[in-house]
């Protein structure tokens, strides 16, 4: 008898392929069922709708990404090493999982997912709590400029995310892998105490 967990993963994997090929609106439950090999009964036993599949897929991919980023901070807890590791992981994860990265890029525009904010907030709460503790520790130690987590994430991730956006949509001429070193160093220079001046400083 097939493991129900394995069947769920088959459905989510099939849904990812369908969403990327046909878009969310162009994807049907029948298409996901056919690609996954699931029976009509089994797919509806696992998920009540296409919306539920999209939300489950988003939360699963987001959890995988967050867990990897937090492992990097645990492995490299220093301020400079941690900031650079976050950028490096962000780029390397997307390069290793381009389909999942593309899905995350467009997922929040899907109404079914944007309408599931409570579940997304729950998913983010633990991750952001640990990031906030890490950031505050280094701010108090004098290694990082005082700033909110929102500002920190914007400074650290925005350049890498913009490059990834261009790469994932086929518009980038630069290789993200070749840009890891320069982007990670730039991220550290942007947040280190005594680094570049910020608006209002």
Domain residue ranges of the chain, discontinuous segments joined by +: 1-48, 55-191
pLDDT above 70 for 201: no
Angle in degrees, 0-180, between the axes of helices 4-26 and 98-107, rounded to the nearest 10:
60
Mapping DSSP to helix (H, G, I), strand (E, B) and coil, where does residue 192 land? Answer: strand
Q: What pLDDT is stored for residue 198 in this prediction?
A: 47
pLDDT band for 199, please (50, 70, 90 cuts). Answer: very low
What is the reported pTM?
0.86
Residue with tokens 């090493």: 81
CATH class of the domain whose range is 1-48: mainly alpha
Question: Can you tell me whether residue 173 is helix, strand or coil?
Answer: coil
Q: Once rounded to an integer, what is the mean pLDDT over residues 84-94?
A: 96
Three-state SS string over the chain comes to CCCHHHHHHHHHHHHHHHHHHHHHHHCCHHHHHHHHCCCHHHHHHHCCCHHHHHHHHHHHHHHHHHHHHHHHHHHCCCHHHHHHHHHHHHHHHHHHCHHHHHHHHHHCCCHHHHCCHHHHHHHHHHHHHHHHHHHHHHHHCCCECCCCHHHHHHHHHHHHHHHHHHHHCCCCCCCCHHHHHHHHHHHHHHHECCCCCCCCC
Mean pLDDT throughout 181-197? Answer: 87
* 28-37, 121-130, 181-190: the lowest-pLDDT one: 121-130
Topology at the third CATH level for domain 55-191: Tetracycline Repressor; domain 2 (1.10.357)
Any idea which residue has 């840009």 for tokens? 179
Over 80: is that where the pLDDT of 94 sits?
yes
Whether residue 92 is predicted with pLDDT greater than 60 in this model: the reply is yes
* 58-68 pLDDT per residue, tens: 999 999 999 99
Report the alpha-carbon distance of residue 57 to residue 107 in Å, rounded. Answer: 10
Secondary structure (3-state) at 56:
helix
Q: Residues with Cβ < 8 Å from 166, sequence gap 6 or more?
A: 172
Provide the pLDDT confidence category of residue 3 given band limits of 50, 70 and 90. Answer: low
Condensed to tens digits (0 to 9), the pLDDT of residues 148-176 reads 999 999 999 999 999 998 888 888 777 88
């Amino acid at each position: 008898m097939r493991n129900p967990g394995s069947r769920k993963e088959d459905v989510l994997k099939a849904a990812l392929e369908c969403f990327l090929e046909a878009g969310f609106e162009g994807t049907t439950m029948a298409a996901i069922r056919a690609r996954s090999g699931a029976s009509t009964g089994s797919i509806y036993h696992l998920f009540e709708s296409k919306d539920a599949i999209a939300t489950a897929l988003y939360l699963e991919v987001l959890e995988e990404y967050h867990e990897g980023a937090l492992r990097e901070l645990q492995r490299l807890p220093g301020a400079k090493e941690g900031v650079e590791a976050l950028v490096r992981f962000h780029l390397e994860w997307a390069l290793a999982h381009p389909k999942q990265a593309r899905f995350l890029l467009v997922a929040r525009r899907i109404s079914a997912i944007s309408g599931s904010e409570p579940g997304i907030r729950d998913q983010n709460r633990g991750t952001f709590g640990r990031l906030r503790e890490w950031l505050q520790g280094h701010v108090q130690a004098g290694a990082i400029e005082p700033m909110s987590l929102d500002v920190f994430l914007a400074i650290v991730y925005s350049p890498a995310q913009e490059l990834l956006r261009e790469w994932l949509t086929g518009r980038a001429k630069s290789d993200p892998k070749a840009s890891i070193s320069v982007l990670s160093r730039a991220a550290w220079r942007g947040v280190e105490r005594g680094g570049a001046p910020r608006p209002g400083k």
